[in-house]
Structure 1
Amino acid sequence: MAPRSRPTARQVRLGTELRRLREAAGLKAREVAGLLSSTSAQMSQVEAGFAGVSEERVRRLAAHYACPDDALVDALVAMATDRTHGWWEEFQGVLPPVFLDVAEVEQHATFLREVVITHVPGLLQTPDYARAVFGYMVPELPDSELTPRVEHRMKRRAVIERAPAVPYETIVHEAALRIRVGDRKVTRAQLHRILEETERENITVRVVPFDTDHFAGASAAMMHVGGPLPRLDTVLRDSPSGTAFLDAESQLDRFRKLFRKVEKAALDPARTRDFIHNLAKEL
């Protein structure tokens, strides 16, 4: 089978976990290549996500590495054998690959936790708000690129609307609610959309007001995506250079603690609803 030209973030993660198991066993790629009647180069492709791996091979590798975690092995097998053709694939070749990666990672999430500071969370945005966000890019996007971005963002909502829906918890700073990404009408409609979404049992929204003391979390923006096991969680962080997918245990531990720290500064869900309702009335 020819190597993939570009593995998805999920395929890369599978390879990363197989490499971590090998390294934990103290083995080199060339030492285990023979187990699969393979070569060191082919093992490197598997561990980089450029080559697929069967259930039988995943289990043979895990046994050879003396992995004691059966649940982890089963989860890796599920990743290796997943043949899901998701809605995001219709955007292949239309949008940058990272858009598809984000949607695929969310699709397999067991929970989603998000912190946003300057923009309303993408999963809660209205079409007009999303269009205003993407329309502000420099250089300016033509409509042929702008419209698919908005459509993709709206379709991502399926993960919180489907049955069963993924539990979604977001902490939003007051700045994100007050900044008029669009005009007054767009902002008011966006606030009402958030209020509507808080009526869903799987969605929890909390606000950090401007007048909260001892809040220095302006750089805390993140999306924490739950995996089938805590070890397989992923944190997404946006930067000027793109979206980073973080999965080292030290990174995951850091962002779990950071989320809980920000959570302590936020209003509870009931007070948050009152807060957003009052903001909407101001408009």
Structure 2
Amino acid sequence: MPGRQNPTFRQRRLGAELRRMREQAGLSGNQLAHMLGVSAPQVTQMENGKTSASADRIRTIAEACKCENLPLINALGGLITSRRKSWWDQYRDGLPDALLKTAEHEDFAASVIRSWTSAIIPGPLQTEDYARGVFSRRIPPLSTEELNLRIEFRSERRRKIFQHPSKSHEAYLHESSLVTRFGGTDVLRNQLHSLIDDSLREDVIIRIVPFTAHTYPGPIENLVYSFGEVPELDTVEVELSRSPIYLDDPTELASYRKVFDHIARAALSDEDSQDLIRQTLKNLKG
């Protein structure tokens, strides 16, 4: 039976954890296939997210790998859902795969979405005019239809995150993002007003790393760290110029948690960050 061509984020993530479980047990693909009574290509397809693994199959694999991490096993079973249409599927023919992957990653988060940006307001916190200013920088320029579709998509991302009852967004921004004018001064002014409003929400924390910080605490790239149902299902998205990369190795996750610890120590408190945004808004001229 041929495997699926485009596994979802959850299907890829499930496969990656099954592969990690096998490798930690010191088993080869052939050995696990023999223990399961299937072919080696079937194991490969499953670990690539291209074929389904039932909850019973996951428990069988865990038993074969002598994995006793019951919370992880249960969480992996929870990733198995029928292939239902997700809200971003309607954009699949009109938007780059990289944008859709970001939406899938945000949807995958079980609780907190933690972000770091240096010169730009994070996507879910952008106003429509600010997003238009960001996307209008593209060379060659986007058509009006493509531009409007991206803005609509970004607005929908924001709605889905903020409407979710169990998700919160912790945004760490460098102060430079408060003065970078995507779309002009009026657009930035409205964006800062929106940022203040968002900072007053119970499900949003916004903290600014000021220019006066002793050192630049984070990477140049924008980051999104999503917390999974269990720590093993945490994921880091590193935004690159062409397409984001996703990291889920435990060592990488531990490293990026430390990165965010450094950023948090350098950032102002919630209240002081609100004051800095207001002061920036007051000083904004043009």
Could you tell me the TM-score, scaled by structure 1's length?
0.95
Q: Which residue pairs with 1:55 in the alignment?
A: 55
Residues 82 and 248 (structure 1), Cα distance of their counterparts in 2 relative to 1, 3 Å cut:
farther
Question: Structure 1 residues 119-128 or 101-110, which shifts more?
Answer: 101-110
Matches within 5 A, 1:246-257: 246-257=247-258
Between 1:26-35 and 1:13-22, the stretch displaced more is 26-35
Q: CA deviation at 1:82?
A: 5.4
Match of 1:94 in 2: 94
Task: Tell me the SS of whatever aligns to 2:260.
Answer: helix
CA contact (8 A) 1:234 1:246 kept: yes
**Matched residue, 1:154:** 155
Secondary structure of 2:276's match? helix
1:252 Cα deviation (Å)?
0.5
- Confirm or deny that 1:13 pairs with 2:13: yes
The answer (yes or no) to whether the contact 2:10–2:108 under 8 Å persists in 1 is: no
Instruction: Give, in angstroms, the shift of residue 44 of structure 1.
Output: 0.6
- CA distance in 2: counterparts of 1:217 and 1:278, whole angstroms: 24
- The residue correspondences of 1:32-111 to structure 2 (distance < 5 A) are 32-81=32-81, 83-109=83-109, 110-111=111-112
Q: Determine the C-alpha separation between the residues in 1 that align with 2:217 and 2:57.
A: 47
CA distance in structure 1 between the partners assigned to 2:160 and 2:63 by the alignment: 34
1:123 positional shift: 0.7
Indicate the SS of the match to 2:53.
coil
Quote the Cα distance in structure 2 between the aligned partners of 1:78 and 1:98.
25
In the alignment, the residues of structure 1 paired with residue 221 and residue 242 of structure 2 have an alpha-carbon distance, to the nearest angstrom, of: 17
Name the CA distance, whole Å, in 2 between partners of 1:137 and 1:97: 17
- SS of 2:141's partner is coil
**Aligned letter for 2:167?**
V
- 8 Å CA contact retained: 1:159, 1:166: no
Q: 1:122 maps to which residue?
A: 123
Deviations 1:3-62 (A, max 9, x none): 111222322111111011111111111122244442111211111111121112111111
- 1:258 to 2:243 alignment: no
Could you tell me whether the CA contact under 8 Å between 1:220 and 1:258 is conserved in 2?
no
Q: Distance in 1 between matches of 2:195 and 2:248?
A: 30
RMSD value over aligned CA atoms?
Answer: 1.6
Task: State how far apart, in whole Å, the 2-side matches of 1:197 and 1:164 are.
Answer: 16
* Structure 1 unpaired stretches of 5+: none
CA contact under 8 A between 1:54 and 1:81: conserved in structure 2? Answer: no
- Residue identity in the other structure for 1:240: S
SS at match of 1:75: helix
**Residues 1:189 and 2:190 are matched in the alignment:** yes
Asked whether 1:223 is paired with 2:190, we answer: no
What are the ranges of 5 or more consecutive residues in structure 2 without an aligned counterpart? none
- Total equivalences in the alignment: 283
Paired residues of 2:112 and 2:167 also in contact (CA < 8 A): yes
Distance of 1:227 and 1:78 partners within structure 2: 12
1:235 aligns with 2:255: no
Q: Is the 8 A contact 2:112 2:226 kept in 1?
A: yes
Please identify, of 66-75 and 165-174, the stretch whose mean Cα deviation from structure 2 is larger: 165-174
Judge conservation of contact 1:4–1:51 (CA < 8 Å) in 2.
yes
| Aligned 8 A contact 1:160 1:202 in 2 | no
